[in-house]
Amino acid sequence: MKQNVIISKHLNEDVSRILSEISFDRVFILTDRNTHNLCLPHLLSVDRLKDAHQIMIEADDTHKTIEALASVWMELSKHEASRKSLLINLGGGMVTDLGGFAASTFKRGIQFINIPTTVLGAVDAAVGGKTGINFNGLKNEIGVFSPAVAVILYSEFFKTLDATNILSGYAEMLKHGIISNDEDYQKLLNFNLVNIDFDHLTQLVGESVAVKERIVLEDPYEHGIRKALNLGHTVGHAFESLSFEENRSVPHGYAVAWGLVCELFLSTLIVNFPKKKLDQTVEFVNHHYGKFAFTPQDYERLCALMMHDKKNESGIINFTMMGEIGDIRINQQASTEQIYSAFDFYLKSFEG
């Protein structure tokens, strides 16, 4: 079923319309500490939200934990949420992931709406029905597939973001460009990320969401082509998990950007992805995202972390690779030696 994704220019009107189209008894709004202050005031002028119970959790991905999840369940229970209640998740990917999981499991499932406030949340976490939390030091280890009743994208929220958060979301857009077509990819490579035109950015976000929607509609439960959306994530999640272990956590999108470099290198080795396109990607990532610091002594640990990726089967690491921009090759394997070569390439490409 196609998800109801609204690119909104008038947030209150669109929220009011969606609320009028669904049935619920009580409404709850989940925010993190940042979106509570910066974004919640935009919603509270909606008549049907004046009496909504507000739930606030701490910000950033390190708080996407079972403890935070339990605190949301507790608030819902304490304030008498029923199976007919509605949860609005107002925040970045952490809030929509955790809030979606909380809603999907409370009383075996209540309705929820996602209103992502970050570029990353808009193009990645809020759309596609994936929900979850981090567990045992691993990204999104526990979760369920459960689509939101609606996803509302409101570009004004993007203006509250710093450069790091915009770049974090942009890496997912870059991935969508790679799995889509060369025209989309070149547009993304040439967009001015220093002096941002937010109307143009919102247009690119909409195009990026459409790429993800098309793939999710074809394969909602990730049995086949939806694995294309994992490009950059097998290595990227390992970088992210290593950063958590070493108490130097990195933004999700930065890890994906670095993961794209490694996985496109593997694509050149294994399925003949064009070296010129790899070099373009390396130049873009190097310029905008800098370097993730690790050494050859970390290679074994990174491979062990990759073994936990949910796309793996029978102890074999499954990669999404690219034969060309738009030419997706799912369920590809690489030897340990080839993976180590990708790490070598990464370290050499980001020297200095």
The pLDDT tens digits for 245-255 are: 999 999 999 99
pLDDT (average), residues 14-25: 96
Q: How many domains does the chain have?
A: 2
Query: Using 50, 70 and 90 to split pLDDT, how confident is the model at 155?
Result: confident
CB-based contact 179:218 (threshold 8 Å): no
Query: Using 50, 70 and 90 to split pLDDT, how confident is the model at 316?
Result: confident
Q: What is the reported pLDDT for 308?
A: 82
Of 161, 178, 197, the residue that ends a domain is 161
With a CB cutoff of 8 Å and minimum separation 6, the contacts of 317 are 234, 303, 306, 307, 309, 333, 334, 339
Q: What is the reported pLDDT for 216?
A: 87
As a whole number of angstroms, the distance between CA 136 and CA 159 comes to: 34
Question: Are residues 214 and 267 both part of a single domain?
Answer: yes
The pLDDT tens digits for 159-181 are: 989 999 999 999 999 999 999 99
pLDDT (average), residues 223-248: 93
Question: Are residues 88 and 225 both part of a single domain?
Answer: no
Relative to beta strand 111-116, strand 150-154 is parallel
Mark out the alpha helices in 191-335 (DSSP H runs): 198-218, 233-245, 252-270, 275-289, 299-306
Q: What is the reported pLDDT for 138?
A: 84
- What CATH number is given to the structural domain containing 275? 1.20.1090.10
With a CB cutoff of 8 Å and minimum separation 6, the contacts of 341 are 265, 269
Question: Are residues 256 and 236 both part of a single domain?
Answer: yes
pLDDT of 118 higher than 90: yes
Count the residues in the chain.
352
Question: Are residues 144 and 168 both part of a single domain?
Answer: no
Q: Which residues pair with 150 in a beta bridge?
A: 113
Relative to beta strand 327-332, strand 138-142 is unpaired
Question: Are residues 177 and 195 both part of a single domain?
Answer: yes
Q: How far is CA 203 from the centre of its chain?
A: 18
Question: Are residues 111 and 173 both part of a single domain?
Answer: no
As a whole number of angstroms, the distance between CA 28 and CA 52 comes to: 5
Q: How many other C-beta atoms lie within 10 A of the C-beta of residue 10?
A: 10
pLDDT (average), residues 43-65: 92
Q: What is the reported pLDDT for 177?
A: 97
Mark out the alpha helices in the chain (DSSP H runs): 11-21, 33-38, 40-43, 66-78, 93-105, 119-120, 163-180, 182-190, 198-218, 233-245, 252-270, 275-289, 299-306, 336-349
Q: What is the mean pLDDT of the chain?
A: 93
Question: Are residues 9 and 63 both part of a single domain?
Answer: yes
Q: What is the reported pLDDT for 347?
A: 97
- What CATH number is given to the structural domain containing 61? 3.40.50.1970
Q: What is the reported pLDDT for 1?
A: 60
Q: What is the reported pLDDT for 352?
A: 61
Question: Are residues 112 and 91 both part of a single domain?
Answer: yes
As a whole number of angstroms, the distance between CA 86 and CA 83 comes to: 9
Query: Using 50, 70 and 90 to split pLDDT, how confident is the model at 310?
Result: low
| N-terminal to C-terminal alpha carbon distance within the chain | 48
Of 121, 141, 161, the residue that ends a domain is 161
In the numeric block, the tokens 């770049």 are attached to 167
Of 161, 184, 208, the residue that ends a domain is 161
The residue ranking higher by pLDDT, 310 or 305, is: 305
Domain hosting 28: range is 5-161
pLDDT (average), residues 122-132: 85
Please compute, for residue 180, the number of CA atoms within 13 A of its CA located in the half-sphere on the CB side: 22
Query: Using 50, 70 and 90 to split pLDDT, how confident is the model at 239?
Result: very high
Question: Are residues 173 and 138 both part of a single domain?
Answer: no
pLDDT (average), residues 42-46: 90
